Structure 1
């Protein structure tokens, strides 16, 4: 029955159940009439959402739980609909068995328009539609943890932060919101930067955040920062590529500067990190890095005394200083 869990959440995003309940369609009959669906089916569906923790029920009336207001309400900064609507069909249950078997044959298939997303990243050939879809998806997935990390003071030693391979700029946005007097640089491929402008404008951070278009692997990186963060970046690449990116960061940082790695950490004793690592393998032939593996990358590059700071859920920030 576990297959229904994610499917129920996808349908909640597709129908905007959270928004309709907030508009006053707070009975199964009202929702069924509004959506032209079965009342009995709606009752059973809402009961499933209730048991999953997304809907409260009292006297046959429904209200959204705190979980729903945070992650299924379109007006929430932490809205997860961009993940649940699944623009790349990453989580299609009818396809996952084939995807698993294909990846075990060393054929990786996160594709858009017939092209490998990994290849588009590395070759700097991401088209605007693919970039926008992936940027929105990754923003939904990572923003809540970025805000948590910044609010806990993990980036406090830094005055100007480079968000490298930034996507929507989740780290840059959270950093600038926590420190209104500081600034950030958002660095990514040109089509991604176009999508990121929406978030910079939405959160009114244009005076603090400078957007710099460029490729992590071939372009000259921006200068003038004393901190650099890779947020959900290194896990898309094998160790040699991760090592080269960390080494480049070391060379560009001034003495006393900091590096930050914001990511889920691999832990073979826990289900979710194990599944997410396998998910990355299926998509890119990559993997999550464990804490010891990331420490090794940092020390090999010349950084001193790496530290781990738990963020939200399974996510953490690893920091280290250039002496």
Structure 2
């Protein structure tokens, strides 16, 4: 008896082709991917007794976390996700169970679903419970995500390919819309294989870009740059973005899906380094999912925020929150432009 092995998936293509820009946005895929946290969010809230507590006394995030000894940020992203799914209603910052939650998620009722939720408990539920109770990201099976990439080449390269897949279409859309006339030098920080830098360079023949990331991205990055015939205009610079030098005199510094992986203190460090790397008339570019009042109602956006908290300890920030960080780091003229799917581009200049 012989067994057949599934063929290896084709190597990913460089981003920024016309077909990329013309394709539908990735909201359906984002919806699908973030749905993996729907059951864990409900199961954890049930196990922690949050539905019963909010049924007895509607509460805001701070009061609920304080009364139950929970992490405030973990509690916040959990409640927002539950509200977006329809299990909680929020008025004036105070959460309360919806009729569906009251019907099925209050212990002691004839229709209580708690035992059924318990059957679905898995490692992802444990990870969500950990971030809500302690504020500690779960990463890979309880091991830090960035440390794991440093120790395990397999994990690091798998993550690199995943981030390229996740970024290729948004990068192409940004390149099609962003005016880089007069921009000769761009630094993409924590850019992985340089997905955004390649898309921007393809659309702007005068542009030379540098991509800063850890050594684990090198093999895949060099392959993609060679395939795209961009190795002469997109340079890979390996190093730690928090400690190693950045090239200075940049016309643009780009953070694409980077700041949402870190807490405020680490973000301020990165933004201050970006300001030092920019030319006097340079511009900062921040490309990320940017929650607004409507996005707070999106299970995908709030699920993404919970996923960030679980995996990296990061968070999505609203425009006012991001503007406050930028201002504190010495930037001004902050503005946001919707770009693609759930993504927006925030721009700022050194004050």
- TM > 0.5 fold call: yes
Q: How does 1:203-242 map to 2 (within 5 A)?
A: 203-242=228-267
Classify 1:222/1:154 alpha carbon distance in 2 versus 1 (closer, same or farther; 3 Å).
same
User: What is the CA–CA distance in structure 2 between the aligned matches of 1:100 and 1:115, rounded to whole Å?
Assistant: 14
Structure 1 runs not aligned, ≥5 long: 1-13, 20-65, 72-77
RMSD, aligned α-carbons: 3.4
Task: Tell me what 2:336 maps to.
Answer: 308
Alignment counterpart, residue 174 of structure 1, candidates 199, 208, 221:
199
1:134-169 deviation per Cα after TM superposition (whole angstroms, max 9, x unaligned): 111011111211111111025445221101111121
Aligned: 1:183 with 2:187: no
2:125 to 93, 97, 100: 97
CA distance in 2, matches of 1:99, 1:127: 21
State the shift of 1:96 in Å: 2.7
Output the CA distance in 2 between the equivalents of 1:157 and 1:279.
38
Is residue 327 of structure 2 the alignment partner of residue 299 of structure 1?
A: yes
Contact 2:249 2:277 (8 Å CA) reproduced: no
User: Distance between the aligned counterparts of 1:196 and 1:311, measured in 2?
Assistant: 25
**Deviation, structure 1 residue 108:** 2.0
8 Å Cα contact 1:146-1:170 kept in structure 2: yes
Give the deviation of 1:204 after TM superposition.
1.7
Compared CA separation, residues 255 and 224, structure 1 to 2 (3 A): closer
Consecutive unaligned residues in structure 2, runs of 5 or more:
11-18, 41-119
For residue 322 of structure 1, report the CA deviation from its aligned partner: 2.2
TM-score (norm 2): 0.63
After TM superposition, the structure 1 = structure 2 runs for residues 196-275 of structure 1, keeping only pairs within 5 Å, are 196-267=221-292, 268-275=296-303
Secondary structure in 2 matching 1:241? helix
Instruction: Measure, in 1, the Cα distance between the counterparts of 2:181 and 2:259.
Output: 22
CA 1:292–1:193 in structure 2 vs 1: closer, same or farther (change >3 Å)?
A: farther
* CA shift for structure 1 position 188: 0.6
Which position in structure 1 is the counterpart of 2:153? Answer: 128
Distance 1:160 1:152 in 2: 18
1:111 aligns with 2:169: no
From the superposition, tell whether residues 160 and 95 of structure 1 become closer, same or farther in structure 2 (CA, over 3 Å): same
Partner of 2:52: none
8 Å Cα contact 2:254/2:284 also seen in 1: yes
Equivalent residues of 1:187, 1:193 under 8 A apart: no
TM-score (norm 1): 0.68
Higher RCO, Cα 8 Å, sep 6+: 2
